[in-house]
Amino acid sequence: MSDVCWGLLSTARINRALIPAIRDAARGRLVAVASRSAESAQRYAAEWGILRAFGCYEAMIESDEVDAIYLSLPNHLHAEWAIRALEAGKHVLCEKPLALSVEEVDAMAAAAAQSGTVLAEAFMYLHHPQIALIDDWVTSGRLGTIQRLESTFCFTLDRAGNYRWDPAMGGGALWDVGVYPLSLSQWLLGGPPTHVLGHAQRNAAGVDIAFSAQMQYANGAVSQFYCGFQSPWTMGLTVIGSEGRLVATRPFNNIDPRHARLYVSHRGREEAVEEMAVPQASLYAGEVEEMHRAILDGDAPRLSLAASRDHIRTVQALYRSAAEGAVVRV
């Protein structure tokens, strides 16, 4: 195989971000889309200029024309359809969150190991050079001992009837956007927290429309985040270390360079804030290139399944903490 032939599993809204990333990649080709209805698949294929349209998911998964699946289904369907695709010998880039329980992650990982295929969680922002730059500031020690991370990801969810409003479909702010600050904390601090305290603000249907979290790490660092569905677009990261402080205004989505800023200030020179250029790159290109390296070159994905498992473990601990009103060990 010299190129990876991709199929989109569903006509989800997020596909529009992946389509150019696959098309622009040196070793990727977008060849198919599958939808629950033939009519919608055909309409979508015509709109986006995709060669093959499958009127059910099974048909695309079984097709020899497709090597890799981009899985953009609602969260409660990730495990089932990833496993079916992996068992059919397809590589899978699965949207975040990878699954809704550790048991599901383990079953998915077992299916990938059994079929010798690549499975990865699609956290696009972790593959962007901005995160490599932030990671370098944190891990090089230039900020000193990391004491605290503060991050936010909020937006106004105005899509009535969307799966995000339904707890049974893996809806809720924590599963949808809280996983960004959670995964970034894990990435920058080198592993999951030891203890968490969560607070959920729920609507009448029982879905968390906002979530606050405090996560305690073995090295003494604390990460706090807030996420929600009912505020204007709000995003940010502050890393506080003993020697310096780093602020990123668009850590998770820096598509518009006018709004993405990166600042560092140093102990004793707090007023001399240093502004760094945010590296420019397509937000979704990195995760696609990473899949190509894993599939074609045999490289291990930088975001391992063990790390994705820890994301899910931490989310589950946070929901448990919110339900019990107590600190929970992860």
* Residue 262 Cβ vs ligand NAP, minimum distance, rounded to whole Å: 20
- Among the listed residues 76, 78, 96, 164, the single catalytic one is 96
* Residue 269 Cβ vs ligand NAP, minimum distance, rounded to whole Å: 36
Q: Decide if residue 75 touches ligand NAP (CB under 6 A).
A: yes
7, 11, 25, 143: which one binds ligand NAP (CB under 6 A): 11
Q: Decide if residue 162 touches ligand NAP (CB under 6 A).
A: yes
Q: Among 177, 309, 284, which residue's Cα sits nearest to residue 236?
A: 177
**CA dihedral (214, 168, 13, 86) positive or negative:** positive
* Residue 95 Cβ vs ligand NAP, minimum distance, rounded to whole Å: 4
**Is the peptide bond prior to 97 cis by the omega test (within 30 degrees of 0)?**
yes
* Residue 162 Cβ vs ligand NAP, minimum distance, rounded to whole Å: 5
Specify the residue, 70 or 226, whose C-beta has the smaller distance to ligand NAP.
70
**Token reading at 68:** 């890799």
74, 144, 190, 236: which one binds ligand NAP (CB under 6 A): 74
Q: Which of residues 293-312 bind ligand NAP (CB under 6 A)?
A: none
- Please give the Cα distance from 118 to 291 (Å, whole number): 8
Q: What are phi and psi of 163, to 5 degrees?
A: -60, -25
Pairing of strands 222-228, 146-156: parallel
Segment holding 61, helix H or strand E: helix 57-62
| SS3 (DSSP) at 2 | coil
| Residue 96 annotated as catalytic | yes
Q: Which residues of 183-218 are buried (b: 16+ CB within 10 A; e: fewer)?
A: bbbbbbbeebbebbbbebeeeeeebbbbbbbbbbbe
The site that binds ligand NAP (CB under 6 A) totals a number of residues, namely 20
Candidate segments 10-18, 109-117, 136-144, 181-189, binder of ligand NAP by CB under 6 A: 10-18
Q: Decide if residue 36 touches ligand NAP (CB under 6 A).
A: yes
Q: Which residues bind ligand NAP (CB under 6 A)?
A: 10-14, 35-36, 40, 72-75, 77, 95-96, 122, 124, 162-163, 176
Enumerate the active-site residues.
96
